A and B are shown apart, each in its own frame.
Chain A
Amino acid sequence: MTAIGLAPVFAAVVRRDLTLALRRRSDVLTTLFFFVIVVSLFPLGVGTQSNILRSIAPGVVWVAALLASMLALVRLFASDFDDGTLEQLTLSPQPLVLLVAGKVLAHWLVSGLPLVLIAPLLGLQFDLPAAALRTMTVALLLGTPCLSLIGAVGAALTLGVRGAGGLLALLVLPLYIPVLIFGAGAVSAALDGMSVNGQLSVLGALLLIALALAPWAAATALRIALE
């Protein structure tokens, strides 16, 4: 067997997961519409005064993004676990950390990125000004990969466990809180016309920390699950 470089393997994992997602488009759309529906429920529940909507919009969009990203997590490793692909991946000579990172990237591209792209449209429904919309998009762009990375650890830990869905929420949502605080904080600051550099920098820092630690933790969790 010829040794394959790390970059081609990473690309192959991403390509494979993207192809699979493309073949099962409904899964992707479910997450996206879940996000849209949750956000749309709030004006119906809270009322339609535009000043209230504007002030709750950052939190509503972020909480909905958290829930949608969590909903999608169940699928991250489950089908590979069921058909044995995951075991093959752990047996491969390439580091599992890299393969997990590839899977997480593919997962973010199909479940996180669509949320980022549709969020400005939902922001318009909440009467957000252009500056806040821009900040929200940037914040989501920095924050949603964080959610996928942290969530991957939870998804790996609950693999094949009784009641995995509810348990996953219990494990992952508390860890999402810093992202929520700074993500929604950035949008609120933009609404108040204040500088958002601080919050965006912290989000970037959180992303870097998650990028450094989460794939490693998720790979360890996968090994524990497959023992």
Chain B
Amino acid sequence: MSLNLWRYASPQTFYRFAGTLAPWFLGLAAALTAAGLYIGFFVAPTDFQQGQAYRIIFIHVPAAWMSMFIYVVMAFWCAVGLALNTRLSFMMALALAPTGAMFTFVALWTGALWGKPTWGTWWVWDARLTSELILLFLYIGFLSLHAAIDDVRRADRAAALLALVGAVNVPIIYFSVQWWSTLHQGASVSLTRAPSMAATMLVGMLLMSLAAWMYAIGVSFLRLRSIVLERESGADWVRELLRAPA
């Protein structure tokens, strides 16, 4: 195989690559969402304890997963950028952050909607909820720090360092359930033992999680393309691209 993966570290190459793939990811996201929501709302049985209210997990759980996972991916690209000085890594991190913040917000919002009928309150100061809220603050901090520094190179590196410092928080989120005794139920999905939910519920949730993945990738690629154009606006290939009829 003579495929040179480093080629894709060039903003110009990746711009085209992302442009080709983004519609596919978004299309898959739409299809998977339709299938997942259908199973979630029409096929999956009503929960014996929580009634219909539990169905919000089809949105809530994927959003919560993605909110944390995107932060890890973002921190990974920040680390790569700081270590290897690759411009595209920083752009990738910056493109991911708004999507991560959106998923964090959705996870908190749907959690509140689920908490009202189930726990009888919109919000409890439980470890996982609090950690999720802190995660939202971290995303906002990352974006504001980046926005506050005019010099793009410094903004990239400063925000990247902040993301890595904040990454210390992600394991705290994960282990908080074990650390503090909480109201929040423990994880229902586990790789080591049989899941404690009906198979159709699990299928619906996994489909929705895949949809969230596809959406996150597709949207970040589109955002990445805008960032590349903005930053490379002086480059010849961008000028040619903009001159040519689309």
- Which positions in A face B, CB cutoff 8 Å? 153, 157-158, 161-163, 167, 170-171, 173-175, 177-178, 209, 213, 217, 220-221, 224-225, 227
Contact = CB atoms under 8 A, between A and B. Distances in A.
Given A157-B161, A157-B162, A224-B161, A174 B154 contact: no
27 contacts: A153-B162, A157-B158, A157-B161, A157-B162, A158-B145, A161-B145, A161-B149, A163-B148, A167-B148, A170-B137, A170-B140, A170-B141, A171-B145, A174-B134, A174-B138, A174-B169, A175-B165, A175-B166, A175-B169, A209-B168, A217-B165, A221-B158, A221-B161, A224-B158, A224-B161, A225-B158, A227-B153
B157 interface: yes
A171 B138 CA distance: 7
A170 B144 contact: yes
Interface string B141-181: 10011001110011001100110111011001000000000
A158 B142 CA distance: 12
B108 to A, nearest CB: 14
B145 A224 contact: no
B165 A167 contact: no
B139 to A, nearest CB: 10
Given A170-B140, A224-B154, A177 B165 contact: no
B187 to A, nearest CB: 22
B148 A162 contact: yes
A167 B142 CA distance: 10
Contact of A227 (B154, B161, B166): B154
B170 to A, nearest CB: 13
B79 to A, nearest CB: 12
A171 B161 contact: no
Contact of A217 (B130, B144, B161): B161
Contacts of B148: 158, 161-163, 167
B208 to A, nearest CB: 28
B138 A167 contact: no
Given A157-B161, A221-B158, A227-B153, A177 B145 contact: no
Contacts of A209: 168
Closest 10 CB pairs of A and B: A174-B137, A224-B157, A171-B141, A161-B148, A157-B158, A174-B134, A170-B141, A224-B158, A162-B148, A167-B148
Interface in B201-245: none
